[in-house]
Amino acid sequence: MPDILSPDSVGLVTPQTHQFTTSLSLECGRSLPNYQIVYETYGKLNERCSNAVLICHALSGDHHAAGYYTMHDKKSGWWDTCIGPGKPIDTNRFFVVSLNNLGGCRGSTGPNTINLDTGQPYGPDFPIVTVRDWVRCQARLGDVLGITQWAAVIGGSLGGMQALQWAIDYPKHVRHALVIAGAPKLSAQNIAFNEVARQAIMNDPEFYAGHYYQHNAIPRQGLMLARMLGHITYLSDESMRQKFGRELREGKVKFGFDVEFQVESYLRYQGRTFVDRFDANTYLLMTKALDYFDPASEHDNNLAAALAGVQAKFLVVSFTSDWRFPPERSREIVKALLTNKKQVTYAEVKAQDGHDAFLMPIPHYTQVFQAYMQKIEIPGEK
Amino acid sequence: MPDILSPDSVGLVTPQTHQFTTSLSLECGRSLPNYQIVYETYGKLNERCSNAVLICHALSGDHHAAGYYTMHDKKSGWWDTCIGPGKPIDTNRFFVVSLNNLGGCRGSTGPNTINLDTGQPYGPDFPIVTVRDWVRCQARLGDVLGITQWAAVIGGSLGGMQALQWAIDYPKHVRHALVIAGAPKLSAQNIAFNEVARQAIMNDPEFYAGHYYQHNAIPRQGLMLARMLGHITYLSDESMRQKFGRELREGKVKFGFDVEFQVESYLRYQGRTFVDRFDANTYLLMTKALDYFDPASEHDNNLAAALAGVQAKFLVVSFTSDWRFPPERSREIVKALLTNKKQVTYAEVKAQDGHDAFLMPIPHYTQVFQAYMQKIEIPGEK
């Protein structure tokens, strides 16, 4: 049976688009007079609009979180392991909303869409967007859908940062925040990796200062390098060892600069395919949103103070081999919540898959996730 | 008092060059009919030639390990913290030899030197060299200097791999091997980082398939990216946090793609200055030598079997925050030596400086290093 017909799949899905015509003020000081957001929904919104769950995507994610677009799709949405009937985010109970963030490249207004003022793609003129901007934009989408309070806002990695920001900025509008493989801010090392990725893209001669669309060009090599590098940080040393070891692609050393080790072949492939589905200007924007995220900075670097007003209950999950956002970073969030006597469940999942673990069907993780979601009360639920 | 006049400095030094005219067969199957090696020496070779110590350099190192070239030099040799009168590698006792490896770019024959057969720089036609090739080449330099047995062969990182290879290939010619911040082979993650660095260089449009010298070009952006990336792996998350934290260069966020965080500024500077002193083709060769190093591979991946014949005594040192070659990797070497009942001293130094710790004056490290070196017996020493 193809996965699409499996009883725990949301099956065929269709993205929808909403045009916003009220100007959105951004943290950078600029504003967008109009913009569109593409999103998908799974499950059914109940009468009291009390069962809505918002999915926030990470750096290279989009609105296609679950299901399939056609019967022939080989790949499902990016979080299909966790969204569907009977899965942790159970579409039998919850109405799930998943959007492509502003500045994205998969249908929402971003650098690769036309700026109505100029008739040209925004390119590098697209304003820098922050996690807080995204959250505000997501709140507006909620308004459109008639959702004033989310049963849960959920995200992994950069998505987890959005869930955290939701609880801070809209305390009454989030009942549960699920922060998975997240961090309260990037470390210097995290920023450093982002900076190398940006330099790779911006120094690519096909980048044309971000105006590559007009040159029918793509900063292919730069974006490929950025993705290869990102990929190393998503996996763990251990998972790479298990996956590739020092396996040679053709059985013996060739004393040359072509691909020799399996891991090289894998990385080059990952880099190449990424270029076909992702926009370099969006990549730049996403890394900046990551760098800037630091809710404690407005409170003398006191995270507990930043979280003093949250009303949501929290599930925080980290993975032992995640060296991008290691468990210590999640524990900072947990500690700050506990300082405020907030209700928080924390799970440190033993996993060898590094940062990417949040996308994987790891039994302990699935169990914790599912148990937490099952206990979420839905007002009006029979 | 300038450092150069300090009593524990080797003071002014002058590099020397030796022309080799006997062909050197390389592991890749090719050979070099003639080549030159540049080297420095510190201290005095005793009558019995029994006090010689060989220093092996790492990826971006060279022969200038200690002292100064002029009274005005601001920077000393790269391992000046450890080499000098009264320092761990005590030039009052030892005659220290430090060379630029074959394939290097600081005076020894390498891609940026003229191929006498063609009258052009070797460029990408320079053969791929391995750790074993370097060791053979170093043995020949020993012959030239009248050294048939080294009191010690010492190196950090890739240099430590050379020390290990010495003990394997020339068991009777090394009394002590000091392997500092080393590993018995690269992990898949290590290879992956090298591969990203290589792709950055080779995809730079100024690379011209390695023939950039003839185009009066330098693959500047690629080499800069490689170095920036390398640098992240040499530091620890913790040392970057202490060094830079999330400090902003101009005090506030600018919502743009210029340098904002101190760590970005630092990395760009490191990348830029590296380009002025290092050759991209050499960088490629060095990463390949790292990737290929794997003495156990000739023994069914049994490291103990690879080390069965060594006669040298070992000092193995690792640093707790080194995530490039973490302590576990050093312990693999120690374990394989102990399986063979070889004499080995192991120190796991608590340090926050990551892989770079091997270059730093960390008291516990200096102490262990010094104590070990002091106990090395020098036949004929009064």
Q: What does the pLDDT look like over A316-349, one tens digit per residue?
A: 999 999 999 999 999 999 999 999 999 999 999 9
The yes-or-no verdict on residue A170 having pLDDT over 70 is yes
At B2 the pLDDT is: 66
CB contact under 8 A, B257 and A284: yes
- Nearest-Cα distance to chain B for A295, in Å, is 13
Which of A188, A241, A284 minimises the CB distance to B263? A188
CB contact under 8 A, B193 and A232: yes
Is A133 in CB contact (< 8 Å) with chain B? no
Residue B258 is classified by DSSP as S
Closest CA to B182 of B288, B331, B350, B338: B331
At B305 the pLDDT is: 98
> How much is the ipTM here?
0.95
CA distances to A43, A96, A178, A361, A378 from A84, in Å:
8, 9, 17, 13, 17
Is B163 in CB contact (< 8 Å) with chain A? no
Secondary structure (H, E, C), A151-185: CEEEEECHHHHHHHHHHHHCHHHECEEEEECCCCC
Helix axes A280-292, A188-202, angle to 10 degrees: 160
Positions of A marked catalytic? 157, 322, 355
Which of B189, B191, B229 minimises the CB distance to A196? B229
| Preferred mutation among B232, B239, B274, B290 to probe A, highest tally of A CBs within 10 A | B232
DSSP annotation string for B30-52 = -EES-EEEEEEEES---TTS--E
Q: How many residues are listed for chain A in this entry? A: 382
How much is the pTM? Answer: 0.96
Question: B82: which 2 tokens?
Answer: 């450890």
Q: How many residues are listed for chain B in this entry? A: 382
Residue A73 is classified by DSSP as -
Q: Please give the residue of chain A at the shortest CA–CA distance from B221.
A: A203
Q: Please give the residue of chain A at the shortest CA–CA distance from B186.
A: A246
Tens of pLDDT, residue by residue over A178-213, are 999 999 999 999 999 999 999 999 999 999 999 999
Which of B225, B271, B284 minimises the CB distance to A257? B284
At A2 the pLDDT is: 65
CB contact under 8 A, A188 and B243: yes
Q: Which helix (H) or strand (E) holds A344?
A: strand A344-349
The yes-or-no verdict on residue A116 having pLDDT over 60 is yes
φ, ψ of residue A318 in degrees (nearest 5): -130, 165
CA distances to A242, A264, B188, B334 from A247, in Å:
10, 10, 9, 24
Which residues does chain B have with pLDDT short of 70? 1-2
CB contact under 8 A, A188 and B284: no
Q: Which residues are CB-contacts of B274 (< 8 A; sequence separation ≥ 6)? A: B60, B223, B224, B227
Question: A16: which 2 tokens?
Answer: 């929808």
CB contact under 8 A, B195 and A225: no
Catalytic residue list contains B60: no
Q: Looking at chain A from residue 290 to 309, which residues have their Cβ under 8 Å from any Cβ of chain B?
A: 291-292, 294, 297
Q: Please give the residue of chain A at the shortest CA–CA distance from B228.
A: A196
Which of A185, A237, A292 minimises the CB distance to B189? A237
CB contact under 8 A, A195 and B256: no
Give CA A290 to chain center in angstroms: 11
CB contact under 8 A, A243 and B188: yes
- Nearest-Cα distance to chain A for B199, in Å, is 7
At A222 the pLDDT is: 97
Tens of pLDDT, residue by residue over A226-267, are 999 999 999 999 999 999 989 988 888 999 999 999 999 999
Which of B187, B198, B241 minimises the CB distance to A188? B241
Neighbours of B148 (CB within 10 A): 14
Helix axes A188-202, B262-277, angle to 10 degrees: 60
User: What mean pLDDT do residues A24-52 have?
Assistant: 97
**Mean pLDDT of all residues belonging to chain A:** 96
Separation of alpha carbons A182 and A166, rounded Å: 14
Can you say whether the dihedral through the CA atoms of B321, B240, B279, B16 is positive or negative? Answer: negative
The yes-or-no verdict on residue A134 having pLDDT over 90 is yes
Closest CA to A61 of A141, A152, A181, A169: A181
Is B363 in CB contact (< 8 Å) with chain A? no
Q: Per DSSP, what are the bridge partners of residue A95?
A: A52
DSSP annotation string for A280-338 = HHHHHHHHHHHHH--GGGGGTT-HHHHTTT--SEEEEEEETT-SSS-HHHHHHHHHHHH
Separation of alpha carbons B58 and B138, rounded Å: 14
Which of chain B's residues have a Cβ under 8 Å away from the Cβ of A27?
A: 255
CB contact under 8 A, A241 and B29: no
Catalytic residue list contains B356: no
At A382 the pLDDT is: 79
Separation of alpha carbons B174 and A138, rounded Å: 67
Q: Per DSSP, what are the bridge partners of residue A18?
A: A37
Q: Where are the beta strands (DSSP E) in chain B?
A: 16-20, 24-25, 31-32, 35-42, 52-56, 83-84, 89-90, 95-99, 114-115, 120-121, 152-156, 176-180, 313-319, 344-349
3-state helix, strand, coil in chain B (%, to 5): 40, 15, 45
Q: Looking at chain A from residue 219 to 258, which residues have their Cβ under 8 Å from any Cβ of chain B?
A: 221, 224-225, 228-229, 232, 235, 237, 240-241, 243-246, 253, 255-257
